[in-house]
Chains A and B, each alone.
Chain A
Amino acid sequence: MSFETYLQTDFIPILALLAILLNSNSKFASIPNAKRFQRLTFFIIGSLLADAITWYMFSRTDLFPLTIMWIANIAYFILATGTSYFWYVYVYYQINGENLTLHQKRNLTLCKIPFLTICVMVILSPWTHALFYIDSVTHAYIRGGGHLLYSLCIMSYIISACVISFVAKRHALFRTEKTDYNFLLCAGIIPLVGFAFQIINPDLLYIWPSSSVGVCLLYINFQEQRISIDALTSLNNRKNLERFLQVKVNKDNCDWYFIMLDVDDFKFINDKFGHMEGDRALQLIAQGLKKVLGNSSSFICRYGGDEFAIIVDGTKDYEIDTLIQSFRDTVWDLSQVYETPFHIHLSGGYAKFVDLQTTPPLRLVAMADEKMYNDKNMRKHKHMKI
């Protein structure tokens, strides 16, 4: 295989990855996992470059001294293993969130061991010839006995990333989470398929291009998440609600309800205690809603400033009434636990989906809205009487 092929095969993915790196710069500030993603991108770009450079050296063996060839190959091995390690770390955090438990942190530290072992083995290779060596006379690259270990290490990181995404997908409660984990799973499977192809036919240089596609897929998913999730409460945002409704009204056969919740006198909390406390109140409500609906396949969304929309499966009106009451109770309990200086009262309204003709999405929202305002007015009058 000529050097031109290697160069061109690596060159196009490098361009695409550089584009991601440029695009991600300055727009990432608020997302914690962004740094890890950027590190992954750096490593994979490095691997692609090192790959092209080492192949160039082997096509022009007369040009380069032995030391430089050793260094380039060592760099390649470290970058390649690093790519798979950071891939795993990124996926791990993407699934488990930023606040890891002590146990999870220990697991992640243990996962570093194979990566470090390979690094040590590679650096010692000029003396031990463990992973590879370069013949001092012919300048030929020859695999060492430990090469299999290196391949295994890379594969096991990517496979583990796939496994944890698959497990997370099985345990996911909400539909949007499921699609996210699906993305992570696909992103891992693509390099594995590329790997398999290259093993079957060594002429197909698929490992790095397919890994690059995987990273691009991770980035697309990362962006999609930012598009569809509200940054403050990490609930779905309104755009995602529209998408979800579109699917729900066309496909789902079971009965379901659209619920609208609104915080009473939110403006008062904001004005009296400042915007920070207002934000905290919203986060607290989001936490409460998630807690109540934790075991069902429902959809929770921040609809607007202080409004929340929920879609739940159910058949009877009184079930929904109880549900709204339990929202109120849970949020009340949480505000007691966190000792907030304000009280949070929720007003709620709901509408049942009948069919697309009688209750199109917009009508559904309007109906729930109306009911919510009735609820709110009723409670206000009650307050006045007291």
Chain B
Amino acid sequence: MDFILHLNIYMFPMILLLVIVFSMRKNPIQTMHTQLFTQLLLATILLLFTDLLSWISNSLLSLVINMIFFALTPLVSIMWLNYLTFCFQNKTIFKYSLIKKGLLICPLILYYFMLIVTPITHWIFQINLHGQYERGTFFLFPYILSFFYMMISFILCLLSIEKNGLSTQKNKALSYAGLTLIPLFSTLIQNLFLGIWISLPITAVVEFLLYLDFQNQQVTTDSLTRLNNRGCFDIYLRDAVTQPRFGFQLYLFMMDLNHFKAINDTYGHAVGDQALVQTADILRKCLHNNEGFLSRYGGDEFALIRFCENDRVAQEFANQIQRAFITANNELNLPYSLSISIGFAHLHKEWGTPVKTLIETADVMMYQNKKGGR
């Protein structure tokens, strides 16, 4: 009966994760990011599957299946940690310093040793004569280990909120921190109330959420410069104008790369693309410690939304960007020189400036700037 029950509950999460894996494998370009995520998904599917099979009573089969199940339990959590580390710090946990790595891996090695000798010592679990599972002395160890890794993932997300200047990254870190807590709570609930088997299915749903977020990022970022794209800009601006901040005004900066056409025509598209990427990087650096929403508006146009106190502060910020380009030109030593024209406009609350006018005003100012600059 328990087997049928699990067959019913686990079917949905298992097929859902399989579907995600297939749709990810369909993409011929596999990055580190997609690989780590696929591994996490596959491990979870296997965990669900072994948990399901462990409800069939058969002593030899139960032993093997429970061994796999307990081997996977902390592994899924450490893969989760690994994936989040890659999302926020762009490196895997294997690139950590030796001490950190040791702290993470040592308990796992100890645990695996205990698991291997479990058939003899019955430390983690034992299979009784009826082929049924019974808890061992240290049955909590795998769960504590998982808990430990999930807590580290949670702390990692919280730290990333502090570190990141960009508001989109901050939001992402915050939501990932929340998502990490959900499997923890569901495990707790499963242990408190008998007959509720939601821990693994909910973990699967959370992984589905991670996948949706991964897709969202692709929908909202420009693939070349990795900035937000035009569609995302439109939505952000639409939301931002309705949420005024006390003492601040919403400023829109429109920026256009000077002589982009000339760079493209002289050196070809590959170099033109490179120039755009460099521009995006410089702009991103300018924003690093400040809040703001940066996006690629069109071919060689960039748009920035930022809250400033007044025109003087906004002008100062524009000058800061111009200075950053001069510094970057000296450092990069390119055959062409990068420079941009900036125009900005702010939202008049009392007039209720429509968004379209805001963009047009900033655009006009940018063109004036361009004429003057050239």
- Residues of A at the B interface (CB closer than 8 Å) are 1-2, 4-5, 8-9, 11-13, 15-16, 19-20, 23, 26-27, 29-30, 179, 183, 190, 203-206, 209-210, 212-213, 216-217, 220-221, 223-224, 226-227, 231, 237-239, 242-243, 246-247, 250, 267, 304-305, 307, 362, 365-366, 369-370, 373
Main secondary structure of the interface of A (DSSP, over half): helix
The reply to whether the CB of B216 lies closer than 8 angstroms to some CB of chain A is yes
User: Is the Cβ of B196 less than 8 Å from the Cβ of A4?
Assistant: yes
**12 pairs, CB–CB < 8 Å, chain A vs chain B:** A4-B5, A5-B5, A8-B198, A12-B13, A12-B204, A12-B205, A27-B219, A205-B8, A221-B23, A242-B29, A242-B223, A243-B28
The reply to whether the CB of B155 lies closer than 8 angstroms to some CB of chain A is no
The reply to whether the CB of B197 lies closer than 8 angstroms to some CB of chain A is yes
Q: Which of A27, A267, A370 contacts B268 (CB 8 A)?
A: A370
**Least CB distance, B287 to chain A, in whole angstroms:** 23
User: Is the Cβ of A210 less than 8 Å from the Cβ of B15?
Assistant: yes
User: Is the Cβ of A204 less than 8 Å from the Cβ of B219?
Assistant: no
Q: Which of B27, B29, B218, B231 contacts A231 (CB 8 A)?
A: B231
User: Is the Cβ of A20 less than 8 Å from the Cβ of B195?
Assistant: no
- Cα distance A5–B6 in the bound complex, in angstroms: 9
User: Is the Cβ of B9 less than 8 Å from the Cβ of A12?
Assistant: yes
Find chain A residues with CB under 8 A from B195 CB. 4
Contacts A220-B23, A267-B261, A369-B268; is A8 near B16 (CB within 8 Å)? Answer: no
Within 8 A of A (CB), among B189-243: 195-198, 201-202, 204-205, 208-209, 211-212, 215-216, 218-219, 223-224, 231, 235, 239
Find chain A residues with CB under 8 A from B11 CB. 204, 206, 209-210
- Cα distance A112–B5 in the bound complex, in angstroms: 37
- Residues of B at the A interface (CB closer than 8 Å) are 4-5, 7-9, 11-13, 15-16, 19-20, 23, 26-29, 195-198, 201-202, 204-205, 208-209, 211-212, 215-216, 218-219, 223-224, 231, 235, 239, 261, 265, 268-270, 298-299
User: Is the Cβ of B29 less than 8 Å from the Cβ of A204?
Assistant: no
Given A23-B209, A206-B11, A231-B231, output 14 extra A-B contacts at Cβ < 8 Å. A1-B4, A2-B5, A8-B8, A15-B202, A20-B212, A216-B208, A223-B215, A227-B218, A243-B27, A246-B29, A304-B269, A365-B269, A365-B270, A366-B268
Q: Which of A4, A30, A203 contacts B4 (CB 8 A)?
A: A203
Find chain A residues with CB under 8 A from B9 CB. 5, 8-9, 12
User: Is the Cβ of A12 less than 8 Å from the Cβ of B270?
Assistant: no
Main secondary structure of the interface of B (DSSP, over half): helix
- Cα distance A2–B215 in the bound complex, in angstroms: 38
**Least CB distance, A340 to chain B, in whole angstroms:** 21
User: Is the Cβ of B12 less than 8 Å from the Cβ of A12?
Assistant: yes
**Least CB distance, A313 to chain B, in whole angstroms:** 19
Contacts A12-B198, A238-B224; is A220 near B19 (CB within 8 Å)? Answer: yes
User: Is the Cβ of A246 less than 8 Å from the Cβ of B270?
Assistant: no
- Cα distance A366–B273 in the bound complex, in angstroms: 12
**Least CB distance, A168 to chain B, in whole angstroms:** 19
Find chain A residues with CB under 8 A from B12 CB. 9, 12-13, 16, 209-210, 212-213
**Least CB distance, B45 to chain A, in whole angstroms:** 13
- Cα distance A210–B13 in the bound complex, in angstroms: 10
Q: Which of B28, B231, B261 contacts A246 (CB 8 A)?
A: B28
